[in-house]
């Protein structure tokens, strides 16, 4: 099986060699669940990779929606990243402070908006620090750049798309949440959200795709993980999770296997789980 991981990833060594290149921009895309009580913006100000700007997915979002960090309209996205100094023709490298968690979400946002050269730093900030590489504090401000945003609608799924896929079986729905949350035996971190999963969805916790060193696993290991979860890779895939963050880890992993027909259900369980008109399975039943 062909290895496409480094079509979407860069190593810490590569970034160290290219960090001063005028066409490279580094983005701290860290985000944490509210239950962790970690503040990504504060941590960024305390220590970040030199030259990195901070993209807050709760700010660069659709503020007309009451769902968390929904993808904004192209014009709003372009305006936000322009102010960060990110523009057309640049190579964008995204990392996060966990290692491999929210950076793929920011990577997907740029990809969905048409950026052709955007990558995730494999191992993220933890690997960068473990290798003794430098960090700086404060806030980086770059000159504004023009960014052309054109939304690729095929990369974004709605609840109607998910319902249609579950009914027809023409696409596979894969949930990146933990097995406990999927089964309904572990509570949801957001209030007012039912426990369980979409009937007919498959479960592949995103953590199963990340090695002990914080890297995306080998293509053989990724393929085995999807196969063990029951996912038919000959079909289009819709990935989902709690709020559209860890679903992007599955998206990146699938693209690393050469799978290109993939969308993220942006509303995710935050939308599905609170809607009494949408079906829910679980409460310990496992996959339905």
Active site residue ranges? 241
Burial (0-12, 13-18, 19+ Cβ within 10 Å), 153: exposed
User: How many whole angstroms separate alpha carbon 157 and alpha carbon 151?
Assistant: 12
CB 285 within 8 A of CB 183: yes
* Type and span of the H or E element at 269: helix 268-272
Kindly state the greatest CA–CA separation across the chain: 53
Segment 220-225 long-range contacts (CB within 8 Å, at least 24 positions apart): 220/1, 222/253, 222/256, 222/257, 223/1, 223/257, 225/253
Considering only CA atoms, give the Rg of the chain. Answer: 18
Burial (0-12, 13-18, 19+ Cβ within 10 Å), 34: exposed
User: How many whole angstroms separate alpha carbon 237 and alpha carbon 76?
Assistant: 27
Tokens of 186: 């572990």
CA-CA-CA-CA dihedral for 223, 228, 229, 235, to nearest 10: 50
């Amino acid at each position: 099986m062909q290895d496409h991981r480094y079509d979407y990833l860069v190593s810490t060594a590569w970034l160290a060699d290219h960090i001063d290149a005028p066409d490279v921009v580094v983005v701290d895309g860290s985000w944490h669940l509210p239950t962790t009580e970690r503040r990504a913006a504060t941590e960024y100000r305390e220590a970040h990779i030199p030259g990195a700007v901070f993209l807050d997915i709760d700010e660069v979002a659709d503020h007309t929606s009451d769902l968390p960090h929904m993808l904004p309209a192209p014009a709003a996205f372009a305006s936000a990243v322009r102010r960060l100094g990110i523009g057309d023709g640049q190579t964008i490298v995204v990392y996060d402070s966990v290692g491999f968690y929210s950076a793929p979400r920011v990577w997907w946002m740029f990809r969905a908006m048409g950026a052709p050269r955007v990558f995730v730093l494999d191992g993220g900030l933890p690997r960068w620090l473990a290798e003794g590489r430098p960090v700086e504090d404060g806030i980086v401000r770059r000159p504004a750049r023009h960014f052309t945003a054109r939304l690729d609608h095929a990369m974004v799924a709605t609840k109607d798309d998910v319902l249609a896929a579950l009914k027809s079986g023409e696409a596979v729905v894969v949930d990146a949440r933990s097995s406990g949350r999927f089964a309904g035996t572990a509570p949801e971190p957001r209030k007012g959200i039912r426990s369980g999963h979409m009937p007919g969805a498959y479960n592949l916790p995103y953590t199963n795709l990340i090695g002990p060193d914080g890297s995306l696993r080998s293509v053989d290991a990724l393929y085995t993980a999807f196969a063990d979860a029951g996912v038919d890779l000959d079909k289009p895939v819709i990935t989902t999770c709690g709020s559209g963050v860890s679903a992007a880890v599955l998206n990146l992993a699938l693209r690393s296997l050469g799978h290109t027909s993939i969308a993220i259900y942006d509303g995710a369980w935050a939308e599905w789980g609170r809607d009494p008109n949408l079906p829910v399975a679980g409460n310990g039943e496992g996959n339905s």
